[in-house]
Amino acid sequence: MMSRFALAASITFLSSAALAATVGGTSGSNATASTSTMKELLAQGYEIKAAVPNGGKFVIFMQKDQSAYACEFVSVTNTKCGAIN
Higher-confidence residue: 16 or 36?
A: 36
For the stretch 24-44, pLDDT in tens is 444 343 334 467 888 899 999
For the stretch 53-64, pLDDT in tens is 988 899 999 999
Instruction: Please say if the pLDDT value at position 45 is more than 70.
Output: yes
Instruction: Please say if the pLDDT value at position 23 is more than 50.
Output: no
Phi then psi for residue 83, to 5 deg, are -65, 140
Distance separating alpha carbons of residues 79 and 4, to the nearest angstrom: 27
- Percent of the chain past pLDDT 70, that is, above it, reads 60
Phi then psi for residue 40, to 5 deg, are -65, -45
